[in-house]
Amino acid sequence: MTFDFGDLIVHAVKTLRLDAGTIILSRTLSNKLNVAPITPFLQPGERVQIWTENAPSQSIFGMIDQHVAAL
């Protein structure tokens, strides 16, 4: 990744309010060596679900379920 998460957060807070507990996700992209992303960017109307489980497969914080909206 060309930018680290600190750079992403600095850019995000220029236009967004990030409260405590805000989750920022990034996928690995490459623009080097002519390698293009193989998956498209999220589009308005699509849905994102995020969850994580511990070793015994118990939910750690429940599911985050969001719809992507245009700004």
Integer Cα distance of 49 and 28 in angstroms? 18
Show the tokens assigned to 28.
Answer: 């690995």
Integer Cα distance of 52 and 60 in angstroms? 6
pLDDT bracket for residue 16 (50, 70, 90): confident
Assess whether pLDDT exceeds 70 at residue 68.
Answer: yes
Indicate the residue type of 15.
T
Integer Cα distance of 13 and 38 in angstroms? 28
Per-residue pLDDT tens digits for 28-55 = 555 556 666 667 778 899 998 888 888 8
Please name the residues in contact with 28: beta carbons below 8 A apart, sequence gap of 6 or more.
1
Assess whether pLDDT exceeds 70 at residue 27.
Answer: no
